[in-house]
Amino acid sequence: MEFHVYETAKAACEAAGMLLGAQITRKGDSVLGLATGSTPIPAYETLVKWYNRGVIDFDRIVTFNLDEYVGIDHKNPLSYHAFMDEHLFSKVNVRPENVHLPSGHSAAAGAAYDAAIRAAGGIDIQLLGIGRNGHIGFNEPDDKFTYGTHVVTLTENTIQANARFFRSPDEVPRQAISMGIGNIMAAKCVVLVATGRDKAEAVYNTIRGPITPRVPASILQLHPCCVILTDTEAASLMKD
Ligand code: PGA
């Protein structure tokens, strides 16, 4: 695991964007694993800036997102698909047919997503945020790790954290479909970004804690190419 601390949240997130951009320059048909949430926004801004300068081209890029709410249509502005359209897809030349987000709420839908990732040759670089409870891609704390794409019931903690995007916590969907730890671990490289004081415990437990499904991100200790980028606040418990 590589761990880098930046002075500001923006610098940490932009560094993640640069790692994705570098991957695109190395391999024009890269398969990117993408994430939603507040943290990746500056990473996507960096990619859009490089695209506008002609540094990177998305024409042959394939993307797979980590997760999507269940029961929300992709045209709904609160869907993760709409988020991706707003922050990245509408601003670069990625082909709509190369863009994938999980959908549905059945085991078959999950298996189809796993198969699509495999058919694309696997994910070259996976961008991740982290929840305050250590979740990655809505893989919530549990008694065991869940490997394939699956439907998850969101924890109260996550519903409250995501309520800021909705009019009230009651409107936050209770379920999501998430890529699963196995797909994340199978990515060739993983870049996790965490910023702000409220992520400090999750960062500490991910890097220094025991590997446990109670802190889903802790399994990244076993990933052969995992980079964790944080600001000083999210690294504040890592001092010794
Ligand atoms: P955030 O979400 O970037 O909005 O904090 C991260 C996550 O919950 O994975």
Tell me the domains of the chain and their CATH numbers: 2-231 (3.40.50.1360)
- The catalytic site residues sit at 67, 133, 135, 140
Would the pLDDT of 83 be above 90? yes
- As given in the structure block, the two tokens for residue 180 are 């699963």
Q: Name the closest-CA residue to atom 2, ligand 1.
A: 37
Cβ(38) – ligand 1 distance below 6 Å: yes
Average pLDDT over residues 3-28: 97
Residue 161 banded pLDDT, cuts 50, 70, 90: confident
Which parts of the chain are beta strand (E)?
2-6, 31-34, 62-65, 67-69, 99-100, 125-128, 150-153, 175-178, 189-194, 226-231
Nearest to 234 by CA among 197, 192, 191, 193: 197
Cβ(131) – ligand 1 distance below 6 Å: yes
Q: pLDDT at position 73, please?
A: 87
Q: pLDDT digits over 49-60, tens only?
A: 999 999 999 999
Query: For the chain, what is the radius of gyration of the CA atoms?
Result: 17
Would the pLDDT of 240 be above 70? no
Average pLDDT over residues 191-202: 98
Yes or no: say if 209 and 141 are a contact pair by the CB < 8 Å rule: no
d(CA 203, CA 235): 7
Q: pLDDT digits over 58-73, tens only?
A: 999 999 999 999 989 8
CA 57 to each of CA 48, 51, 86, 93, 121: distance values in angstroms, whole numbers, following the listed order:
10, 6, 18, 7, 19
Q: pLDDT at position 86, please?
A: 96
Residue 89's CB is within 10 A of a number of other CB atoms, namely 21
Contacts 24+ apart (CB under 8 A), 51-56: 51/91, 51/92, 51/93, 55/21, 55/25, 56/21, 56/24, 56/25
Atom of ligand 1 nearest to the CA of 39: 3
- pTM of the shown model: 0.95
Residue 216 Cα to ligand 1 middle (Å): 14
Q: pLDDT at position 74, please?
A: 85
